[in-house]
Amino acid sequence: MCGIIGYVGNKEAYPVLLQGLHRLEYRGYDSAGVALIQDDIINIHKRQGKVSELEEYCIDRDISGHTGIAHTRWATHGEPNDVNAHPHFSSDKKMALIHNGIIENYQLLKTELINRGHEFASETDTEVLVHLVDDIKRNENVELAEAVRLALTQVVGTYAIIVISVEDPHTLVVARKGSPLIIGFGQNEFYVASDGSAIVEYTDKVVYLNDEEIAILTEGDDIHVKTIKNKVIPHYVETLEMSLNQLEKSGYEHFMLKEIFEQPRSIADSMRGRLNSAKEIVSLGGIIEYENHLLNARRIIIVACGTSYHAGLVAEYMLEDLVRIPVEVEYASEFRYRNPIIYSDDVVIAISQSGETADTLAAVELAKQKGATVLGICNVVGSSIARATHAGSYTHAGPEIGVASTKAFTAQVTVLTLMALCLAKRKGKIAKQKYTHIIHELENIPKRVEEIFKLDTHIKEIASYIKNFNNALYLGRNYNYPVALEGALKLKEISYIHAEGYPAAEMKHGPIALIDEDMPVVVIATIKGTYDKVVSNIQEVKSRKGKIISIVTEGDTVVKGLSDYIIEIPETEEMFVPLLATIPLQLLAYHVAIMRGKNVDQPRNLAKSVTVE
Ligand code: M6R
């Protein structure tokens, strides 16, 4: 939610900031703005709408300056308009600030500042920060960085901020708590951004700021880091593991499509070095130290949101089936506020593509406070959740830019499968023959995904049928229930067709009342497991005139006979069906959204990283 970027150095700042905004736009795209210091003034240009609208607006404006900050917004407080767009000015326009996060006590602070004569232009929570820093700077007669530090001691909430002032024209003051912030080092210059994608083309030497830390970045000087409590601390320079071509569309029309088609590679990358089928060894280096905690866990509790939650549900079936440890899967947003019982011998696993989801991060902190072992399955290296957990494994899916999560899901399921296999083997809960068969089958999944891509034209035809409906139901059972949830989530978030995922057998407890000839029902009806039961559920839909689109195992004739459309996927182990069946559902949602003229990479009201609760 919201992307921030700053630059100080000897380059013109605007091109760096603008390019950075384009890369960060997936984080929020309802308005954008830039502030540049030029001599003793700050020029701010901001616009409602996408970064391209800001770019157009700036064509005939003064965009010179070597120090600047820029922001792309996902509105929380105050509607998306030009005034509420960041950056925000202090009263005398000598200071400007951008912010990602939420200031919870902003109303209180605002009232006090208004009483002291400050005039506010916007309805945002952010604007109080710049007035507060300015107020402290004047009244306490302190340097900019100290004013920022003192201001942050009064703030309740989350923030990643960058502040500039004409009094320190070659300095950025940055701070974070609960929202991500990365600092890049160039030649006598600094780059600051919400994530590495905005700065990777300039540098791979970075520092990840920790919560409640402030950094002072002055052109030609070294970085200075201290805590909000005023303790000077050392910084550690790391190498940013990201390449520029991972951030391009590489000939695809949309990031989502590229990311769908990357899955054979991303699934293989998530297994690489972890699965040695010749030696029949599965190991997850990142959590090896905590394997005994997992094996002796009273329970495994998985916390996640959205698509990552669906990956957690798949893991629940797998871990209980193969490892025989009780597993609970919870929406992080519910878990954190319901006073959950957590034992010190529970292992909590947080799943998050971005590693920044506010609710998942809060659930991690809560579980740590209660003494549980907390592991992370994240995609973004160095992200907040990856760093807040005791240990974890990265998914290696590569940057996921499309707001709809695709390759992250299959990578998460892959890593969780490896975890389940490791534990099952160590616990002696899996027969040798089954273990051997499963790991060979897992190794073949990328090839099977490739085969599914050959169905794209057929899936497009089904999309042209579905695109005209207003509702859709997705049904599945057992391992295919999370697939139904995920298929429905994909369709609704990018095509805006109302879609619900249901366990197929639950239909007759309510949703069956919705079935008529205007209700397409997507059923994941692969062989094995509860196949016969699902066939009965299809009959129930059919006899009520529902339209049936089935995902079936290659060669199936029974479900084919009952369906209006079928999508045949290669046969695999039941536990791997989610890795295959999700792919046509991603493509289906993509094509429907395109046919309905929607922006698939940046669907309305959404953002990629949900860093506010
Ligand atoms: O980064 P995370 O995996 O923690 O994100 C969780 C959800 O916000 C995310 O999966 C969201 O539901 C996607 N838009 C789904 O496509």
For the stretch 508-543, pLDDT in tens is: 899 889 999 999 999 999 988 788 888 888 998 888
Answer yes or no: is pLDDT of 247 > 90. no
Is there a single domain that holds both residue 88 and residue 20?
Answer: yes
Query: Is the shortest distance between the CB of 586 and ligand 1 below 6 Å?
Result: no
Mean pLDDT of 391-407: 95
Instruction: Report how far ligand 1's centroid is from the alpha carbon of 480 (Å).
Output: 19
Say how many Å lie between the CA of residue 487 and the centre of ligand 1: 14
CA 13, 207, 235: angle at the middle one, nearest 5? 125
Which atom of ligand 1 is least distant from the CA of 606?
14
Instruction: Give me the domain span that covers residue 23.
Output: 3-245
Task: Specify whether 2 is catalytic.
Answer: yes
In a domain, 613, yes or no: no
Q: What is the mean pLDDT of residues 237-241?
A: 92
Q: Which atom of ligand 1 is nearest to the CA of 307?
A: 10
Number of domains in the chain: 3
**Residues 124-179 pLDDT 10s:** 999 999 999 999 999 999 999 999 999 999 999 999 999 999 999 999 999 999 89
How close is the Cα of 343 to the center of ligand 1, in Å? 27
432 with 475, same domain: the answer is: no
610 C-beta closer than 6 A to ligand 1: yes
Give 214-261 as a DSSP string. Answer: EEEEETTS--EEEETT--B-----EE----GGGGS-TT-SSHHHHHHH
**Residue 407 pLDDT > 80, yes or no?**
yes
**Region 455-474 average pLDDT:** 97
- Paired tokens of 165: 């002032």
Same domain, 293 and 417: yes
Instruction: Indicate the residue among 428, 443, 458 that finishes a domain.
Output: 443
* Same domain membership, residue 416 and residue 322: yes
CA atoms lying within 13 Å on the CB side of residue 575: 22
Percentage above 70 pLDDT, the chain:
100
Residue 485 identity: L
pLDDT of residue 75: 82
- Please state the rounded mean pLDDT for residues 390-402: 95
Q: Given the residues 407, 490, 492, 608, select the one marked as catalytic.
A: 608
* Most ligand 1 atoms within 8 A of CB, residue of 1, 305, 334, 351 to mutate: 305
> What's the CATH number where 285 sits?
3.40.50.10490
Number of the ligand 1 atom closest to the C-alpha atom of 609: 1
Let me know whether 271 and 291 are in one domain. yes
Q: Are residues 235 and 278 in the same domain?
A: no
If you average pLDDT over every residue of the chain, what do you get? 95
Same domain, 388 and 468: no
**Given 245, 271, 306, which residue is the final one in a domain?**
245
If asked whether residues 155 and 61 sit together in one domain, one would say yes
Q: Are residues 350 and 454 in the same domain?
A: no
Predicted TM-score (pTM) of the model is 0.88
Most distant CA pair in the chain, distance? 80
Query: Does the annotation count 608 as an active-site position?
Result: yes
Span from the CA of 608 to the centroid of ligand 1 (angstroms): 7
Q: Measured from the CB, is residue 602 less than 6 Å from ligand 1?
A: no
Share of the chain above pLDDT 90, in %: 87
Is residue 307 lining ligand 1, measured as CB closer than 6 Å? Answer: yes
For the residues 483-490, what does the mean pLDDT come to? 98
Averaging pLDDT over each range in 76-90, 426-440, 458-472, 596-610, which range is the top one? 458-472
The residues, ordered by sequence, that sit 6+ positions from 24 with a Cβ below 8 Å of its Cβ are 3, 4, 5, 72, 193, 194, 195, 197, 198
